[in-house]
Structures are given as C-alpha cells and as structure tokens.
Structure 1
C-alpha cells in the first residue's frame, strides 16, 4: 500500500506536461488499434461505456446547435476580456493548479491528486465553442475553466477548501473547437452575478502558464435558471445574493454581457447544459 501511495505522489508532481505526454501516447495507441481493426472491440464494451457515449453525444449536439445559431453574429468580434479575479489558481496569484497532474479532465466535480473532496450541487455541463475571429473552429486550443462551489467558495483559496482543487480543469478543443466540462451549478455570492471563469490558450502544451493565454473572460448565467436552481436545497444563501445584484450593476458584466450570457437548457432533476460561443483573437 505504501508503495502505491508513493507512486501516486510521484505522478502527481510531474505536472501538466506529463498529462500531455500521456494523452499523446493514448492517441497513438488508439490509432494503432483502429489500424488493426480493434478500435470497435476496445470501445464497444458495456453499458457504462455506452452511457458515456450517449451523454457526450447529447452534450455535443447542444453545443453544435448553440454554435450554429450564433457563429455568424459573433464572427469578427472577440469575447470581452475580463479579470481572472482573485482566485485564478493559475500561478498568477498564489496557487498553481495548471502544473498539477490530473488537471486535464472533463469532470471537474472532484478534487484530484492528493485531495479527495467532491463538490455537491445541481449538475451542470458547460459547453464552450472556441472560434477564430473569422468564425472558424479553433481546433487544438485549450481552455482552463474554474468557478465557485455551492457555498460560494473557491478551492485552493477559500476557508475550508484551501486543501481542495475541485471545480477546476483544462480541456483541449476538438476539431469543431468544442470543449465540455461536467460540473455543478455555481452559487451566487455577495457582490457578483453568477458566473464561470475561463482562460483560453493556443495549445494544450502552452496551458501551463498564464503568460501564454490569449483570452480571459467570464460566462454569465441567465437569471431565470439561477432562480430555479437556487430554490433547491443547499443554495439558500444564493437566493439572497442573487436578489442583491443584477447584470447591469455587476462589476464585470455591467458594461455589456450579450456575448457572455450562456444559453442554458435542461432542468433541476436531469441537470443543465450551458453553451457559449467564444471567439478569440
């Protein structure tokens, strides 16, 4: 048991560059399987695998629909640049999660590495479509996304969760420029409209330092959906906080939020999908 723990810690401290290398090796392996006619055998296993595929397909469909409807309107207009805030976790203000092995992941609800916490809340899938200013897909771009938990706390920084790193993750955009994160609906905390932070990097390999980012912005969540979610158990303080602010007086979105307001579908029981097209220069 001690040996397993030691090996785990060694891997944990190798950083995102180790993640990238592992990802590339997996891709080469899958290519070998496909060439030998074995990919179907490897991928077509049991019900759990089929369920994952179904979820991914539904999520991708929602992202594609949002992308198709708004791509023409946003072409040529970059997503507004916003502050990363005081809790980025990218090394620019204290903790640096970008250089921890395990940060490249789709499901960001749990902590990783030596941490073991899990963020609770109404399920939320975040679908971002990264585009160039000409409207084309920005394939291969990387997105680092983070937000607060059900209590308005940020992992790595807030009292009680400084030893957690949940609700933070990096994804590489696919051929269509899409990235998807499985998360929970963030709280509304005092002074801010409900939001999600993200940074865009030109490649996954460069998503190790904020010096390499090409865009920093925030996604706003629609008021009606927020009110519905905050009426559920665990979000009680968010009801008060939502009532005390608005998009028009929020210190980030008050100068305009049209490009940052996500399209949200779903319900409390099944969870929500928030989609946004993100044009970057």
Structure 2
C-alpha cells in the first residue's frame, strides 16, 4: 500500500515525511494556507499552524441549526455547471418541464417515475443580494441538481436518461431561503461530494440558462460524508473519497471550498440538514460554464 500524507501519496515512499523534497513541502504549505483561509485566520498565524497538528477540513457537525455561512462576506465562488446541468445548455432541459418547481426532488417528473434512494437530506440555501446591501434575495429562483447514491446523474448517465430525479427549482421566501428534500449525494471518481446550483432572478427567467445570475456548488464536510458512506448503497463512495481532499478537488481546491462548505446538522436516522448562505452580486457577470 502506498504511503500518504494529508491525502497525497508520498513521492519518496522509503523516506520520512520531512525528507520528501522541496516540491512536496511547498504543496503542504500551500494546502495549510488554503485551510487557514477557510477558517478565516490571517497570515500571521501561519507559522503557528505549520508547527501544530490539525484536521485538513473544518468540523462537519453543528450544535445549532440555521444556515451555513461559509467564510467571508464576498460573493459565492463562481463554478462550472459541469457536464450534466440539465438546463438546456448541454442537451436535455428539465427546466422546461411542468412540475420542476418543487421542494421534494427525490422522484422523477413524468413517465420515468423512479425515486432516488439514500440517506435523507434537507438542503437549505439562503440567497443574499450584495447589490442591495446584502438583503435577502426574495423571489429569486434556485435550480439544484446532484448525483444519486451510486454517482449517476439523471438525464445523462447510463440507465438514467429517462429519469430526471434529484433536480428541481424553488423560489426564495422573504428571508431569501429555499429548501429541498433530497438524499445525500455520492462521491464519484475525481470529485468531492457536492451539490450544483444556479440562481436566476425569478421563476420566468429559468426558461433560458443564459439568464443565470450565479452558478456554484455546495461542498459537503468530510465527517458527514464518512458517516453517510458507511450506509448501504454508498459502498463505492468510500474508496473514491479516500483518494480526495477538498484541497485536491478540481473545483474546491483553489481555496478549500471556503465560501461553499456547508454547515450540517442531523444524523443518519433522522436525516441531515445541509445549509449554506449564498451571496450573489447582480453587478458581476457569472463565469461558470
């Protein structure tokens, strides 16, 4: 078995961690810088952090409910919608289907009718409008989608092209919040467990993906994933997650998911609530594609 450190294979398998070379040391230092940014700590604490131990990812459990805030007060990181958006920008378009505005997204709309199984998850996103002083963005439409517990995406994956589960739209209430009933997604090769979402100005705007205000992703905390992936149906996720970290992920790796790491409460029996505050700025152009 190859020896690893902080989720990365050691380039010199027969040597100690301190003897892995300058390149490995720089990667380790940069990884700790990302972690400090995710925790909201300044550069002056870097020396202390480098001398002490600690976890690569923040704690996943919270003692109180409410919405996750990520780190900082700036705009949510803009990310790719990926290859399976289902918004008409890459093939099929679920947003043109009657019934797509719904809170429970576990079952397909229309003829498919399949229901995604897995550990229950309530997803809560609170959208704030930075162009309006950070006020709740009431009435905005939020489209979410994610993979099932086997790592497949409805409308795209083999055997799922006739299904559209785990996709849906909700309109933000007076507090800017949308809530979806779903299941915890899997971890598939090369990607940290996540949920995609797009923010539109209002319900009428979802008819055209070009109207999107922001495109981003929610990152799930590691200890929650470790707990969920011990459940039946998630077996493959254990192996995939063991090969990843937030810092090595192709999407979250630039800052460890600082503005996208959700606050999570709950348990396997009663289900988890995954919450994040999403700050958007209508004065900027989204870059995700």
TM over 0.5: yes
Instruction: Tell me if structure 2 keeps the 8 A contact 1:142–1:201.
Output: yes
Q: CA deviation at 1:174?
A: 0.4
- Separation in structure 2 between the aligned mates of residue 207 and residue 129 of structure 1, nearest angstrom: 18
- Separation in structure 2 between the aligned mates of residue 117 and residue 225 of structure 1, nearest angstrom: 26
Give unmatched runs, 5+ long, in structure 1.
1-60
Which of 119, 140, 164 aligns to 1:122? It is 119
TM-score (norm 2): 0.73
Q: How many pairs are equivalent? A: 215
- Separation in structure 2 between the aligned mates of residue 234 and residue 113 of structure 1, nearest angstrom: 25
- Match in the other structure for 2:202: 203
- Match in the other structure for 2:168: 169
- Match in the other structure for 2:94: 97
Query: What SS class does the counterpart of residue 206 from structure 1 fall into?
Result: helix
Give unmatched runs, 5+ long, in structure 2.
1-63, 282-289
Higher helix share: 1
Q: CA deviation at 1:207?
A: 1.2
- Match in the other structure for 1:258: 258
- Separation in structure 1 between the aligned mates of residue 221 and residue 81 of structure 2, nearest angstrom: 20
- Match in the other structure for 2:43: none
- Separation in structure 2 between the aligned mates of residue 197 and residue 128 of structure 1, nearest angstrom: 12
Listed one character per residue, the Cα deviations across residues 132-153 of structure 1 (whole Å, up to 9, x for unaligned) are 1122100010000000001000
Match runs of 1:127-166 below 5 Å: 127-133=124-130, 134-166=133-165
The higher relative CO (CA closer than 8 Å, separation ≥ 6) is in 2
| Compared CA separation, residues 280 and 220, structure 1 to 2 (3 A) | same
Instruction: Tell me if structure 2 keeps the 8 A contact 1:145–1:170.
Output: yes
- Separation in structure 1 between the aligned mates of residue 72 and residue 99 of structure 2, nearest angstrom: 33
Instruction: Tell me if structure 2 keeps the 8 A contact 1:97–1:103.
Output: yes
Q: CA deviation at 1:164?
A: 0.3
RMSD: 1.3
TM-score (norm 1): 0.75
Q: CA deviation at 1:233?
A: 0.8
- Match in the other structure for 2:270: 270
Instruction: Tell me if structure 1 keeps the 8 A contact 2:67–2:125.
Output: no
- Match in the other structure for 1:179: 178
- Separation in structure 2 between the aligned mates of residue 162 and residue 274 of structure 1, nearest angstrom: 27
Instruction: Tell me if structure 2 keeps the 8 A contact 1:110–1:166.
Output: yes
- Match in the other structure for 1:66: 67
Runs of 4+ in 1 over 4 A off after TM superposition: none
Instruction: Tell me if structure 1 keeps the 8 A contact 2:88–2:94.
Output: yes
Q: CA deviation at 1:66?
A: 2.4
Listed one character per residue, the Cα deviations across residues 1-50 of structure 1 (whole Å, up to 9, x for unaligned) are xxxxxxxxxxxxxxxxxxxxxxxxxxxxxxxxxxxxxxxxxxxxxxxxxx
Q: CA deviation at 1:176?
A: 0.5
- Separation in structure 2 between the aligned mates of residue 66 and residue 90 of structure 1, nearest angstrom: 26
